[in-house]
Amino acid sequence: MCGIVGYVGEKHPIKILLDGLKCLEYRGYDSSGVVLQNNSDSQIIKSVGKISNLEEKINNEKLIDSKIGLAHTRWATHGEANLVNAHPHKVGKVTLVHNGIIENAKELKEKLIDEGVEFLTDTDTEVACALINHYYDKDIKKAIEKACSEIVGSYAFGIIVDGVDEIYAIRKDSPLILGIGDNEYFIASDISAIINYTNKYILLDENELVEMNGDGYKITSNGKEVKKEVLVANMDASSKEKNGYPHFMLKEIMEEPVVLEKTLKPILSDMSLLPDLKKYEEIHIIGCGSAYYAGMIGKSLFEENGVRAIVEVASEYRYKKVLYDRKTLVILISQSGETADTIAAMRKANENDIDTLAIVNVKTSTIARESKKQIFIEAGPEIAVATTKAYILQVAILSLLAYSCGESSNKVIKDFKDLPGLLREVLDRKDEYFKIAKEIYKRDNIFFIGRKLDYSICMEGSLKLKEVSYIHSEAYQAGELKHGTISLIEEGTPVFGIITEDDIREKTISNVEEVKSRGAKVIIVTNSNIEGYDHVIKVKKVSKYVQSLLVVPVLQLIAYEVAKLRGCDIDKPRNLAKSVTVE
């Protein structure tokens, strides 16, 4: 959510800033802007909508000569998505871009109004900018530190000041890195924004203040200089390209067999790489969105092996009273490792001296650094907002963890080893999925039904469809249909029935018959021989630990094809953000 890029060096920054913003589009945004500066002369250009709109405005402007600039993509939190509220904001001599939420913005704003400050926007960001400017008297660093000491909430700030060709940056609970090039320096929300220019970077810890100019950089904390390790990103520019695919989402779905093999092969060769979970009496699985639905599958599999498990949405877990009255492990699931609510849930567990295990993609993320144990998935960059390959890897790791709590089985291990090849066969049936998509893409409502673990699959399938196609879609436990939901079924309503569990197959089929008799168009995804419905997609029958990993990609591809037929912005769905770094 929101993206920040900053540059200072020997070049005019506009191309670098625009390139960076385009690389951060996946984070979600509704407006964008840049500021260029040359001593006391500054130029702010902002636009609503796509970055291409901003680029068009820039192309029609005469740009000042500059070697320093900031750029920003805004995902609206305080104030509507319009030109006035777009970043950067300038108050007095201070210009600022911001990712995060200032929770006490109202109180700070009232205080500043009493001091005679006038506000032009509805944003919390302008309040932060005004507060820094209010305290600015020759020493901008002291002003920033003073302002930040009064701010409650999360922030990553990029700041420039009239008359000083330097960039200042500071963060708390929102990600920000310092990039290091040849006689040029960057700030960015993540490395993807600057990877075209450098792969060297420094992770900024909370409330470390950076000042940088064309000659170098300096990091301080509480007024004292801090020396930091320079890291090298294992990523190149080509990993952010579509490589011939029309959308990143499709590319990332088709990469699933490759990343599965990369992630699972070392573990399957040496299961001791997994932490020993048998010493825990209870497991809490925490996530948001698709990570939460991955956790639902994990919970089912843990319970199959007699392990007490609960799965919670991070935004609820962080605030509820949790009884840590057993030997407990808290598993945190996050692709980015920067999900605000999941970070808060992790810190809650850490504060209670509870073991935490992160399943995370980004090795340098906050969750990776602060959790007590980590399992890294090897998804690589995931650019599409709707997760696909990262979700598959999260489920795969949870499945292996659950398996490690039960009896060993050569067949299960073989299923895991065969999984990449089996998944390729599933993905190769795109014509079949396209045919289904053509029959349902004009519908207003679509439903998914299943029982037990199949219901967890339904939740992810429904989410993926609504995320990218904007069709209203819901997932229900099949047995709950008669308790109200069946009233929504009418002639031609598409209903997906997920049927993979032998012990309740006939029960789910009975529920499917109930919607069929009321005119529903029924699409079955199963590992059994089932006939008599509009479409039946059969996948290979494998171990319960692996089965969902052959079913969900079917639903991912159908969601993709439906969204494509509807002309949706598949990689950047409206109102959504990839990395939810605010509450």
Hey, is 338 helix, strand or coil?
A: coil
Q: What angle do CA 143, 148, 151 make, to 5 degrees?
A: 130
Q: What angle do CA 244, 248, 253 make, to 5 degrees?
A: 100
**Which of 90, 109, 544, 578 is labelled catalytic?**
578
Token digits of residue 467? 């995320």
User: Taking a C-beta distance cutoff of 8 angstroms, is the pair 179, 195 a contact?
Assistant: no
- The DSSP code for 480 is G
Hey, is 308 helix, strand or coil?
A: strand
**Which of 2, 129, 148, 568 is labelled catalytic?**
2
**b vs e for 348-372, b when ≥16 Cβ sit within 10 Å of the residue's Cβ?**
bbeeeebbbbbbbbbebbbbbeebb
576 vs 301: CA distance, rounded Å: 30
Whether residue 578 lies in the annotated active site: yes
Where does residue 60 rank: exposed (0-12), middle (13-18), buried (19+ CB within 10 A)?
exposed
- Kindly list the distances between the CA atom of residue 253 and the CA atoms of 176, 249, 313, 359, 495, in Å, as whole numbers in the listed order: 28, 6, 25, 20, 23
88 vs 67: CA distance, rounded Å: 17
φ, ψ of residue 279 to 5 degrees: the values are -80, -10
How many residues comprise the chain? Answer: 583
Phi-psi region of 484 (alpha: psi -120 to 50; beta: other; left: phi over 0): left
Task: Give the number of other Cβ atoms within 10 Å of residue 516's Cβ.
Answer: 18
88 vs 430: CA distance, rounded Å: 44
581 vs 335: CA distance, rounded Å: 12
Question: Alpha helices of 75-226 — where are they, by DSSP H?
Answer: 105-114, 124-135, 140-150
Hey, is 345 helix, strand or coil?
A: helix
74 vs 51: CA distance, rounded Å: 11
**b vs e for 522-547, b when ≥16 Cβ sit within 10 Å of the residue's Cβ?**
bbbbbbeebeebebbbebeebbbbbb
User: Taking a C-beta distance cutoff of 8 angstroms, is the pair 357, 276 a contact?
Assistant: no
- Catalytic residues, by residue number, are 2, 578
